[in-house]
Amino acid sequence: MRKRREKQLVIYCARTHMDQEITCEVRRILEDGNLDWDYIMGNPSFYRISPLLLRNLKEIADENTVPRSVMDMLAARYAYIFYRNMQIYDILREVLERFRDEGIPVILLKGVALGETVYSDIDLRPPGDIDLLVKKTDLQNAAEIILEMGYNPADPVEQYRNHHHIPPYVKLDEKLDESIFIEIHHNIAPEPLMSRIRAEELWEGAKTVNIAGIDALVLCPENLILHLCVHLSSDCFIAGIGNLVDISESVRNYDESIDWDCVVTRSNEFGLGSFTYYPLSLAKDMMGAEVPASALERLKLDPELRPSMVKLLWIVIKRNLSTNHDLRFHTSLCRGLFSTPIIRREIGNVRPALFHAFDRAFQRCVQKNNLPGVP
């Protein structure tokens, strides 16, 4: 079952600003009734945006359209996310103070950076891990500081010798009764993308902001968008709607200050055209992000992707972004989508059985959308 109405409701509500048209669409879906709330509340890819769902449904819905049990569950999730966020930002403050005292510059990445800067409310964007970017020359010192704070490597160091971050460091937080992970990055993507991305350019234009009561750096808007797109693409879209919301909200927040020429130029120079094009296209189509069409047109896609493949790839990713519960199949499908020789070499070897699964889905999509087949 595709649950299209449920998915559309989540997409409409997964934003910090809802215009009148979107608000009317949400009311229409709610008033039509017969929504599968168990699906919405049980879908793990929707959990991260629970605070947005709660805030927007509270403004629009009533007990006749949204069951009280659903609102109570969303409120309980929000309460836990609020408490967890307070603990995470306390830890972040301590880490940043230690790095500052040792003279190690650091850029905040992902959730710990987006809450106050893009969402303007840390409770609307719960962080997962604490992700930090340091210069490669500072990796050793940064690792020693984290060790001194009682964290231990979660994996053997040898596994990360050619990685874009050192092993995640982990410690059990007694207040949360869960393990907290800290990842120290020196680049924003794994190989083979890492060797293309000039890490020194990530520091250009970094902005100083006050987060958790202490000054810290965040990526400039152009590098932020690039990072979020690459993160969504390299994760094979498994994280789903949450990462897409990050992109859309970043575009909304920075708006006219974004230098789209810089986004396009840097993406093309790093050979990331395909990894930037699909997330931005989806953010524009699904979330209403104000991404200029001219910017999308100038992104250089893989030359082996013919127009029919580009269109098909976009359709299938959009349909499977947040509805597939079988993460193993979801991964195989998205890896199979990038099945041209160049992209296949970049993503790595995929078992033949997974390609067969993709081929079946591929042909069904070709037939359903009246697209030319790709031999």
Do residues 138 and 93 lie in contact, with contact meaning Cβ atoms separated by under 8 Å?
no
Could you write out the DSSP letters of every residue in 190-201?
Answer: -TTTTTTS-HHH
Cα–Cα distances in Å, from 215 out to 131, 142, 189, 307? 16, 18, 25, 46
Question: What's the Rg (C-alpha) of the chain?
Answer: 21
- d(C-alpha 199, C-alpha 186), whole Å: 7
**Tokens 């949400």 correspond to what residue?**
26
pLDDT single digits (tens) 155-199? 887 778 778 888 999 999 988 899 999 999 999 988 778 888 999
Cα–Cα distances in Å, from 19 out to 26, 108, 284, 333? 11, 31, 15, 34
- What region, left, alpha or beta, does residue 183 occupy, with left being phi > 0 and alpha being psi -120 to 50 degrees? beta
- d(C-alpha 15, C-alpha 140), whole Å: 39
Environment class of residue 46 by beta-carbon count within 10 Å: exposed (0-12), middle (13-18) or buried (19+)? buried
Q: What is the pLDDT along the chain (375 residues), one digit of tens a residue?
A: 457 789 899 999 999 999 999 999 999 999 988 899 999 999 888 888 999 999 999 999 887 899 999 999 999 999 999 999 999 999 999 999 999 999 999 999 999 999 989 998 888 998 888 999 999 999 999 999 999 999 999 888 777 877 888 899 999 998 889 999 999 999 998 877 888 899 999 999 999 999 878 899 999 999 999 999 988 876 644 456 888 999 999 999 999 999 999 999 999 999 888 889 888 988 998 899 999 999 999 998 766 555 655 665 666 566 555 444 333 333 333 444 444 444 444 444 434 444 454 455 555 554 554 544 443
3-state secondary structure of 152: strand
**Tokens 């029919």 correspond to what residue?**
308
The residues, any chain, with a CB within 8 Å of residue 2's CB and separated by 6 or more, are 323
Closest to 192 measured CA to CA, from 345, 346, 349: 346
Report pLDDT for 213: 84
- d(C-alpha 310, C-alpha 278), whole Å: 9
- What region, left, alpha or beta, does residue 103 occupy, with left being phi > 0 and alpha being psi -120 to 50 degrees? left
Residue 142 is classified by DSSP as H
Closest to 230 measured CA to CA, from 169, 285, 185: 185
Amino acid letter, 22? I
